[in-house]
Structure 1
């Protein structure tokens, strides 16, 4: 149920929001039927994940890793979710949302009676109010420098997604005895249905108590009294709101099992009952849960295995039941050989891609140096040696905002500027450097063999033009360093939920928490402002084509390739269905069952 945010990288952290949704169907009712033939209720399944868990709040810039989002998805619920066909599916057992008006756009969210947190506290409008405060940026009025440092004003919540959509809402109204929240927009908003579909990952009553407030109602009262931020005349800082935001930002970050139960409260089918740091996490059934799809398994063990080959070995040795790694050629061959021998194997097109991003600070603050470096990147060689062994028809990705399956991809790449980087141009790079020999540190996950291979190919080619490329490969926590200034370029991936357009400003808008390389362009910002208030897909595509050209002309970085998705699972489990979007194989975890 992760919609309005980026989570860092496929096989590294979940993220991208690059795809216009051309296949979202009308919402349908939630279904709770689970299993496939031969399955029984109960038991445990083991699923392998690439990255290690580190936060119970997946909404922050540091917490928005794919694994954190998946654990939140299994331990929380909301008004809707996205299925494997990229349909928006309503969960009316949790509550309902109604469009009250088109002009102005007004939406009322109502949570059903009986929905509660695992400590017995009700899930109510106070939780929605806190989610709105964090995701709207309503109280923020800070002016920042290019590095994201606050120069003046207030910056409270470190929301990892784009705040522009909910920023167009007025102060919400709480009603229905504290069960409903009404949002009134000052402008149309294309993604209103998904951006606030599953907002209650963080319990307001726990945050209130940690901030020294009496209860969740007191927190809502505080949010009603603090003035809206004003960058032209910053509002006087509010100490209580600062405490609330600081706990929301960091209070849920942990790699160990907390002794404080309020840190890991659940309102979903499962609750976290154990963590072995960097090794595993255990989910156990929330026996009180009855406001959404009923889970079949008693528990799910998540093992953190970064290496794709090690995941394959775990499946083969019956140490894992389900794996969905970013495959290298050798691991894909092994999985195909195992297919039919107690293992099911699926390879499919997923909504993700690997890319190289250059920081707009340090050595790459000079656009000539950025352009020179990009001219050395052997994109075709990367595809030939890394991806074509998995997908013979794979080609270098030529767009920053479209994937090849999207109708406007071909139109955009005709004139977006990608043609300038089709071939390696060492001599052109040397002319731009004019004798300089810049040092460039590239960060990537060492456990991801595809990205390790990409680093080596890029390093060897760049050296021919005079670049001194330093190996900045890191271990399991590499994604926590995104945006911290410790590197000059990064190789990682974005993964899309498959619906909406709000993800685009999450990546490219000036000042966005998830804009890790500090790209900033006024014309691009204006296009993104138009994008989020445009619900016509044809017009959205036109705006994205213009944006694509601006990003390429800025020497932002390079999209590299779209790796295939892979899911493999033991015949001992049923209900596993691949999904191309961000939630991946987890999208229907409640249907997982053991024979």
Structure 2
């Protein structure tokens, strides 16, 4: 990442000028840094619906980089280590991508435009299957088609370092720089070999449906990660780190990739400890030097020897509701929204310390996709302000005598979310609503689609840990019909139109009008119940350099290759 390297050079020069390097050399560099996150790591592929909800983006941003990464405040930053992307003048948005000529995977295979074609093919939603009931579904289990569905074609010669991405007429995506980013570019040569096709590019260009189907089968599940059961040949890296091993005892071990063409990582070994590890025990044992978890989610943490801070993140803590079963009728969803004690939950669990007067973490979240620090938040949040929650009498009237049981699932154990469910159960009981805690250590948001729970308690787009960016894209597509991250199967044609128009609309006045309409529509339909901007606790061991909290889906590991710990 060029910006971070330049900053590091300036710091070294400044230190030399001040005569401080001698003092630094008296300390030994720690050769391995442990990084604790509050999510599971079950796949290498962050683009699948399963991967997007897990810790894949937090774990592999510097293992599978792309043309951009999510910076600390949530904006996309170009990563020229991967290559360059430049707009070609013309009436239709056309972007010329040029991969770094030195780019190569850790298995020796060059990075090529085949990787871009695979990313586009997997995310564009064009390849579908029809079941015996006439229903169609994408063959690729992508979390979202945002941006990629606006691309008409990707011109690429197999094995080339160049790709020309041509968007559809009238679909000038305002957030195109977020495409082909960290975690999006999976190794196409691995998928092609597993699918037994000559290349991804030739298979897609020839319209070979059987071949595309086999590629999809592998893309969906072939990069699954199971601790202790890795065929490392399937997981080559294109970044400064590569996977060395993964086990319950030793965590996910990343080591320096000797094929990496950029600056060498500051620390040769990073160990990622997922939620399934005994985080308090690992911290006490000295195996963890970086912590990035939901505030209050893990009790019993001892952070002596750390510099700890609590930040309001860009992840929207929310209840994602089914649109079938007990919540099939919008009236029942709205009744449930009335009794959920949103104000009390924010006061008790939604912030750490004194909240700011405005912006992220300032109060109850009254929107689904407009960020609380956006200029348009006040008008967009107006409909939600009147529905503060905790209105059991109103909910009881709205239910008209019905007494539903609501099963709320989430990835456990999670102390804060457990308390959240308990508070909702107490507040909704007088309305005749029975709330059951359905947390599980192997919980996934697909349980909502399968009908084994009625609501999911999670962050933006059902992310269990670090989630969200400064752009509304993920939150919007999580409620768009047909999106892989739309676990509640919410469907509203007008909202779909709003999502599609916001993706290409540059005019701020029009964006305001659309956003207000969209947020009002969602309050009327109640597919989710927003709670607050998730507070997160970030802690860095004393002596750790270049560590910077990141309040987005990338987590604090966004620049892990710059970390250096001296003691």
Change (3 A) 1:502 1:240: same
Verify: 1:324 aligned to 2:292, yes or no: yes
Structure 1 residue 390: Cα displacement: 3.8
Other-structure match for 1:518: 489
Change (3 A) 1:258 1:113: farther
Map 1:80-99 → 2, pairs under 5 A: 80-86=68-74, 88-99=76-87
1:45-69, Cα deviation, whole Å (9 max, x unpaired) = 0111112211011110112234211
Structure 1 residue 247: Cα displacement: 0.8
Other-structure match for 1:443: 409
Does the Cα contact within 8 Å between 1:135 and 1:159 map onto a contact in 2? yes
Change (3 A) 1:254 1:546: same
Other-structure match for 2:359: none
Verify: 1:567 aligned to 2:533, yes or no: no
SS in structure 2 at match of 1:357: strand
SS in structure 2 at match of 1:318: coil
Measured in 1, the distance between the counterparts of 2:191 and 2:386 equals: 50
1:409-438, Cα deviation, whole Å (9 max, x unpaired) = 112222x2x244214222222222222222
Verify: 1:53 aligned to 2:23, yes or no: no
Measured in 2, the distance between the counterparts of 1:62 and 1:448 equals: 19
Measured in 2, the distance between the counterparts of 1:332 and 1:397 equals: 28
Match among 224, 231, 244 for residue 205 of structure 2: 224
Verify: 1:117 aligned to 2:105, yes or no: yes
Does the Cα contact within 8 Å between 1:348 and 1:566 map onto a contact in 2? yes
Match among 94, 115, 129 for residue 127 of structure 1: 115
Match among 315, 319, 332 for residue 283 of structure 2: 315
SS in structure 2 at match of 1:349: strand
Map 1:497-576 → 2, pairs under 5 A: 497-576=468-547
Measured in 2, the distance between the counterparts of 1:90 and 1:125 equals: 18
Measured in 2, the distance between the counterparts of 1:456 and 1:79 equals: 43
Measured in 2, the distance between the counterparts of 1:114 and 1:257 equals: 32
Other-structure match for 1:363: 326
SS in structure 2 at match of 1:385: helix
Measured in 1, the distance between the counterparts of 2:407 and 2:559 equals: 40
Other-structure match for 1:203: 187
Measured in 1, the distance between the counterparts of 2:341 and 2:137 equals: 44
Map 1:17-32 → 2, pairs under 5 A: 31=6
More off after superposition, 180-189 vs 69-78 = 69-78
Change (3 A) 1:472 1:176: closer
Match among 31, 54, 63 for residue 75 of structure 1: 63
1:442-473, Cα deviation, whole Å (9 max, x unpaired) = 11233111110010011122221112222211
More off after superposition, 465-474 vs 491-500 = 491-500
SS in structure 2 at match of 1:171: strand
Structure 1 residue 151: Cα displacement: 2.8
Change (3 A) 1:42 1:535: farther
More off after superposition, 544-553 vs 70-79 = 70-79
1:74-129, Cα deviation, whole Å (9 max, x unpaired) = 21222222333555433333311111124111011111223111111111011111
Other-structure match for 1:426: 392
1:464-494, Cα deviation, whole Å (9 max, x unpaired) = 1112222211125445635332101121112
RMSD: 2.9
Does the Cα contact within 8 Å between 1:442 and 1:469 map onto a contact in 2? yes
Measured in 2, the distance between the counterparts of 1:280 and 1:399 equals: 37
Q: Which has the higher contact order (CA 8 A, sep 6+)?
A: 1
More off after superposition, 585-594 vs 193-202 = 193-202
Map 1:388-537 → 2, pairs under 5 A: 388=351, 390-392=353-355, 394-414=362-382, 416=383, 418-479=384-445, 481=447, 483-494=449-460, 496-537=467-508
Measured in 1, the distance between the counterparts of 2:452 and 2:294 equals: 25
Other-structure match for 1:12: none
Measured in 1, the distance between the counterparts of 2:179 and 2:151 equals: 13
Does the Cα contact within 8 Å between 2:82 and 2:103 map onto a contact in 1? yes
Verify: 1:378 aligned to 2:359, yes or no: no
Task: State the TM-score, normalizing by the size of structure 2.
Answer: 0.88
Q: Mind listing any 5+ residue stretches in structure 2 that lack a counterpart?
A: 13-20, 357-361, 461-465
Structure 1 residue 246: Cα displacement: 0.7
More off after superposition, 196-205 vs 128-137 = 196-205
Structure 1 residue 542: Cα displacement: 2.9
Measured in 2, the distance between the counterparts of 1:248 and 1:133 equals: 11
Q: Between Structure 1 and Structure 2, how many residues are aligned?
A: 541
Change (3 A) 1:87 1:41: farther
Change (3 A) 1:399 1:200: closer
More off after superposition, 550-559 vs 311-320 = 311-320
Does the Cα contact within 8 Å between 1:57 and 1:201 map onto a contact in 2? no
Structure 1 residue 258: Cα displacement: 4.2
